[in-house]
Amino acid sequence: MSPRPRSLALSFFLALTTACTAAPEPAAAPPGSRTVSVIVGTSYTPSEITAAPGEALRLVFTRTTDEGCGQQLVFPGLDIQRDLPLDQPVAVDVTAPASGRLAFTCGMAMYQGAVVVR
Ligand SMILES: [Cu+2]
C-alpha cells in the first residue's frame, strides 16, 4: 500500500481545519442567545442595546460606509477587537453584565455604543 493517498487526505483535512479556524465568526449562535443587528455608519445604530442581566447576546455588526472610522470595533472591557470589512456582517457573542453597561467603540473610541442592562 502506498502512503500517498493517506497523506493527501490528511493534507486536505488540515486545509479544511485551518480554513475553519481562520474564519472570524463562530458558525452558530450560542443556544438561547438573542441576535441584535448593529449598523455601523458614522455612529452605531442602535447605539444602545437594552438587555437583561446576564443575557447572552449575539451582536452582528455591519459597516455600511467607508466614511468615518468604524473599521475597527473594540469592546474595551472584554479585550475584544474586530475588523469590520465593508458590508460584511461580523458577529460578536457577549454576555450582558449583571448591571450597568458593556461598552463598545471604534478603534479610536470616537463612536460609542453599549449594551445597557435594565
Ligand atoms: Cu474612531
Residue 59 Cα to ligand 1 middle (Å):
19
Residue 73 Cα to ligand 1 middle (Å):
9
Residue 108 Cα to ligand 1 middle (Å):
4
Domain ranges of the chain: 29-117
**pLDDT for 84-111, tens place per residue?**
999 999 999 999 999 999 999 999 999 9
Which CATH code, of 3.20.20.70, 2.60.40.420, 3.90.1640.10, 2.10.240.10, is assigned to 29-117? 2.60.40.420
pLDDT the model gives residue 82: 97
Residue 68 Cα to ligand 1 middle (Å):
7
What residue ranges in the chain does DSSP mark as E strands?
34-40, 44-45, 48-51, 56-63, 72-75, 80-83, 90-95, 101-106, 112-117
pLDDT the model gives residue 25: 54
Segments in the chain below pLDDT 70: 1-26
Residue 107 Cα to ligand 1 middle (Å):
5
Could you tell me the pTM of the whole model?
A: 0.77
Q: Which residues contact 32 (CB under 8 A, 6 or more apart)?
A: 56
